[in-house]
Amino acid sequence: MTNRGNHERSRCAPRALVWNDVGMNDKSSKGALDEPVLLSGGNPQIAKGDGDAPVQAYIEAMPGWKQDVGRRLDSLIVLTVPDVRKAVRWNSPFYGAEDQGWFLNFHCLTKYVKVAFFNGTSLSPIPPVESKNEGTRYFHIYEDDQLDDELLANWISQASELPGWDGFGR
């Protein structure tokens, strides 16, 4: 945690009210508590929610070059699956197809963005990185990677047509 001088953290205060003299209603302090928290690996901590707004909040909070990757992935997903459903859970954006479940999510790690295809073993070609979860495959995007939009769109299209993961509802 960043050292903020002599401010004391209240043991009883909700997470958003941790600094007792920030002045929650003072517009001059705006930004002091509005900045998203970056978790280990630089993954943004974003409240769970359904729809485009929480996904866009996640993408805007992605650090550095990862934000461009997030924007590019989101745009490619929307272009490929125009009626895509979106949500944020467990500090990651999820994408799904109506009545099919969730087919993809992504997550920031220290050196790359991890894209998870929940039914990835059914895709052709199969995404390169194995998972402990049966059926799931990953694709890692590093800072200097040249993305193959055609391959990603192909995977996204295929994944959106398969039965997806229904871990938190549709």
Is 54 within 8 Å of 67 (Cβ atoms)? no
Whichever domain contains 60, its CATH number is 3.90.1150.200
Please compute the mean of the pLDDT values over residues 89-115 and round it to a whole number.
96
**Higher per-residue confidence, 32 vs 163:** 163
Q: Is residue 58 part of a domain?
A: yes
Q: Residue 112 — pLDDT band, cuts 50, 70, 90? A: very high
* Residue at 18 is within a domain: no
Number of domains into which the chain is organized: 1
Residue 142's contacts (CB-CB under 8 Å, 6 or more residues apart) are 111, 112
What's the whole-model pTM score? 0.79
Q: Evaluate if residue 56 carries a pLDDT over 70.
A: yes
